[in-house]
């Protein structure tokens, strides 16, 4: 119960533009509809209360439900060398003009600001992040940020074997590789391109270089690849893989419907029929995956249950799109342009107020699979995985 006044105070501090970590911050007038601020006499006492009762985390990255956002996903490009059916419409997508995309320096300015406020994990996404020419340099410069604990990448794996030695040396600490089938011909059907053997080469290069686990993301679609579940799980017997099965999610242009979605419980039941000794693994509070271990296996199995059992209550993720928009929810259609404010000369404090206001508007949970399917949102490739 004691945490509730603290979170109300955090909400006021964020919405009014006053930082909760500094008792010397100016008191500003609240916007209409925002609770009145504490008086100047009350402020030092209330701030001291926050220090004692709330976790030491930035008010700008703490939402109205007390969720602290320490994980930032940055899309480096809208371009991709594959055309995955669940990610990109068949007709492709109109790309943002290059001048409207974040520059490398703008990416680093924003990353530095978020890390300064408490983000300790950054994941680089796309499009396909490894087709960006300066991706190794970006990783190296992010690696220099004090307080950043992990730099990860989500990739389709096509360029991974070639670039991974340089990326590892630059500071890349975690890898997610997308692979939705173990059948080369089916691979071409799903991604509308060749490249299966390059992806497998990338997975084995990651293992060779000591990444453990190597996370392999598989979007499961009924009538397409649900018959390969057991084959994927068997890969984790002798390899340090985290096989992550993802429920098919609706985005603009991917022709989602409920009948194509294979639920987590259905997948789990299929796997347990073959391996009844499957054991549940403990998970971090903010984890998006339900993880399991099969005794004797080197790797493990996980499920991303965004549709059937959402994990919104512990969400700690924010996203920046390649064109510089902040998205506080993958499935939400509200965005705010950090790029425009950066280019207009906004100060660090002004940027933080804009970010804090967006985080403060984050909803308790997404709208549910059927409502999401009717909402206007970007195709996945323009959001950043």
Q: CATH number for the domain including 275?
A: 3.20.20.70
Residue pair 367/307 in contact (Cβ under 8 Å)? The answer is no
Domain assignment of residue 95, given as a range:
74-382
33 lies in some domain: no
Q: Which residues pair with 244 in a beta bridge?
A: 217, 302
Gap between the Cα atoms of 100 and 364, Å rounded: 31
Of the candidates 346, 312, 331, 317, the one whose C-alpha atom is nearest the C-alpha of residue 114 is 317
58 lies in some domain: no
CA 321, 324, 327, 333 torsion: positive or negative? negative
50 lies in some domain: no
7 lies in some domain: no
Which residues have C-beta within 8 Å of that of residue 79, sequence separation ≥ 6?
95, 126, 127, 128, 131
Gap between the Cα atoms of 316 and 330, Å rounded: 12
356 lies in some domain: yes
| Per-residue confidence in pLDDT tens, the chain, 385 aa | 334 434 444 444 444 444 333 333 333 343 444 344 444 454 445 445 444 545 568 999 999 889 999 999 999 999 988 887 777 766 677 889 999 999 999 999 999 999 999 999 999 999 999 999 999 999 999 999 999 999 999 999 999 999 999 999 999 999 999 999 999 999 999 998 999 999 999 999 999 999 999 999 999 999 999 999 999 999 999 999 999 999 887 545 445 456 788 999 999 999 999 999 999 999 877 777 899 999 999 999 999 987 777 668 889 999 999 999 999 987 667 789 999 999 999 999 999 999 999 999 888 875 444 444 444 544 545 545 5
323 lies in some domain: yes
258 lies in some domain: yes
22 lies in some domain: no
What is the number of domains present in the chain?
Answer: 1
């Amino acid at each position: 119960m004691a945490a509730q006044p603290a979170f109300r105070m955090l909400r006021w501090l964020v919405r009014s533009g006053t930082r909760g970590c500094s008792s010397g911050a100016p008191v500003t007038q609240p916007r209409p509809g925002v609770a009145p601020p504490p008086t100047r006499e009350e402020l030092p006492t209330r701030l001291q209360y926050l220090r004692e009762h709330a976790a030491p985390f930035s008010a700008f990255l703490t939402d109205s439900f007390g969720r602290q956002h320490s994980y930032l996903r940055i899309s480096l490009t809208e371009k991709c060398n594959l055309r995955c059916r669940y990610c990109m419409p068949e007709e492709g997508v109109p790309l943002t003009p290059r001048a409207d995309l974040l520059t490398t320096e703008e990416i680093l300015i924003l990353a530095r600001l978020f890390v300064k406020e408490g983000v300790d994990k950054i994941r680089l996404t796309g499009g396909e992040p490894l087709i960006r020419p300066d991706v190794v340099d970006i990783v190296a410069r992010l690696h220099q940020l004090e307080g950043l604990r992990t730099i990860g990448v989500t990739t389709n794996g096509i360029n991974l074997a070639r670039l991974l030695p340089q990326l590892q040396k630059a500071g890349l600490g975690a890898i997610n590789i997308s692979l939705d089938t173990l059948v080369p011909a089916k691979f071409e059907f799903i991604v509308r391109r060749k490249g299966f053997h390059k992806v497998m080469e990338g997975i084995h290069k990651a293992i060779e270089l000591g990444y453990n686990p190597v996370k392999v993301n598989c979007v499961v679609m009924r009538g397409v690849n649900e018959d390969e579940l057991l084959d994927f799980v068997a890969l984790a017997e002798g390899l340090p893989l985290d096989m992550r099965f993802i429920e098919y999610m609706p985005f603009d242009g991917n022709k989602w419907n409920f009948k194509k979605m294979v639920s987590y419980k259905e997948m789990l039941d299929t796997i347990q029929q073959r391996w009844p000794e499957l054991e549940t693994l403990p998970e971090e509070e903010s984890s998006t995956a339900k993880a399991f271990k099969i005794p004797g296996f080197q790797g493990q199995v996980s499920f991303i249950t965004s549709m059937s059992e959402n994990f919104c209550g512990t969400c700690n993720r924010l996203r920046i799109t390649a064109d510089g928009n902040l998205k506080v929810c993958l499935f939400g259609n509200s965005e705010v342009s950090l790029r425009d404010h950066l280019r207009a000369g906004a100060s660090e404090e002004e940027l933080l107020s804009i970010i804090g206001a967006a985080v403060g508007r984050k909803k308790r949970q997404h709208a549910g699979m059927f409502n999401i399917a009717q909402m206007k949102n970007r195709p996945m490739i323009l959001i950043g995985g």
